């Protein structure tokens, strides 16, 4: 994999690129780094795909800003198309985990003509959220850390104290069956120690809850036009797997599918890497030769 740079939206963005073939974009979340996708990018390149793995906006010094508006989801989703244009790629398969999954949903709504397929990990489609949370209010407790992150300065201090013990807590709580997480956690700590990066990464949460920066309800409600695979971990203590039960079929104009992995938690691309590889490769292969004029069908959740 080769590192490339792109100046876009007043930032210097970084990404890793490798392989030849149809483009696949892998987007990470919080608290994480691009390196959690290492198993997936190796599998994709070996299978004949061109793989782009962005260092998500805010996760390195060149893209870290203290201003919240830089981390509005619509601006981050714009990075996806900016990378595609830079690489002279008209279309791509988009894969996202955690905040990368939220960004993938937003990009799919904004730029459907540029996306061949969508795969999300650990984040259910928004159509199931309101009813799902009402019926399973434990999700409010699971998501309480988001309110903490609204406290500028205080949350940075809490996350940073005792050598980022809060990051270790999140990894071990959210993926309770993941035993070999030490290396991934150390990578996250290293990333967050860069100038401005911790505040930038917490700004994702601040922008999402700020009225002037959060994605519009109209945008989030747009039915998705591309095949969509949603992968859930049944041991995920961050996002309750039951939220997937309330996803609305009307939110998809093409094939959609939910796959639940029994032993996987939130960081499933690390702890269940082979299963994730198989699912992503099969989904992308199935939808790699689609034409814009083909008829679409809707299939139920499995």
pLDDT digits 0-9 by tens, 96-132: 999 999 999 999 999 999 999 999 999 999 999 999 9
Would you say 284 and 49 are in contact if contact means Cβ atoms under 8 Å apart? yes
pLDDT band at 300 (very low <50, low <70, confident <90, very high): very low
pTM: 0.93
Query: Which of 90-94, 252-256, 277-281, 294-298 has the weakest average pLDDT?
Result: 294-298
- The pLDDT tens digits for 7-40 are 999 999 999 999 999 999 999 999 999 999 999 9
Using alpha carbons only, give the angle 113, 276, 60 rounded to the nearest 5 degrees.
70
pLDDT at 301 over 50: no
Q: Residue 147 and residue 128: Cα distance in Å, rounded?
A: 21
List all residues 6 or more positions away from 223 whose beta carbon is below 8 Å from its beta carbon: 250, 251, 252, 253
Domains delineated in the chain: 2-286 (3.40.50.1820)
The pLDDT value given to residue 289? 63
Looking at per-residue pLDDT, the higher value among 179 and 208 belongs to 208
Listed residue (5, 64, 48, 57) closest to 27, CA to CA? 57
The pLDDT value given to residue 296? 31
Quote the tokens at residue 249. 């079929």
| Whole-number average pLDDT of the chain | 94
């Amino acid at each position: 994999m080769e590192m490339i740079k792109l100046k876009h939206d007043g930032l210097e963005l970084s990404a890793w690129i490798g392989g030849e073939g149809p483009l696949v974009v892998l987007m990470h979340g919080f608290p994480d780094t691009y390196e959690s996708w290492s198993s997936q990018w190796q599998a994709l390149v070996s299978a004949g795909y061109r793989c782009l793995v962005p260092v998500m906006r805010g996760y390195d010094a060149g893209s870290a800003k203290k201003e919240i508006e830089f981390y509005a989801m619509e601006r981050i989703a714009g990075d996806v198309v900016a990378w595609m244009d830079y690489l002279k790629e008209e279309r791509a398969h988009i894969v996202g985990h955690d905040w990368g999954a939220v960004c993938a949903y937003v990009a799919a709504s904004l730029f459907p003509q540029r996306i061949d397929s969508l795969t999300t990990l650990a984040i259910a489609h928004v159509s199931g959220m309101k009813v799902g949370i009402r019926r399973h209010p434990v999700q409010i407790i699971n998501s309480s850390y988001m309110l903490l992150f609204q406290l500028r300065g205080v949350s940075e201090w809490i996350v940073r104290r005792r050598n980022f013990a809060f990051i270790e807590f999140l990894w071990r709580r959210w993926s309770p069956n993941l035993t070999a997480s030490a290396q991934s956690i150390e990578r996250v700590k290293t990333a967050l120690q860069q100038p401005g990066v911790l505040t930038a990464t917490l700004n994702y949460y601040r922008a999402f809850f700020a009225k002037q920066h959060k994605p519009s309800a109209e945008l989030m409600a747009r039915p998705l036009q591309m095949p969509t695979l949603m992968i859930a971990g049944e041991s995920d203590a961050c996002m309750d797997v039951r939220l997937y039960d309330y996803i609305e079929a009307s939110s998809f104009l093409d094939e959609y599918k939910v796959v639940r992995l029994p032993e996987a938690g939130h960081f499933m691309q690390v702890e269940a890497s082979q299963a994730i590889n198989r699912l992503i490769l099969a989904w992308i292969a199935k939808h790699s030769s689609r034409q814009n004029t083909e008829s679409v069908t809707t299939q139920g959740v499995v």
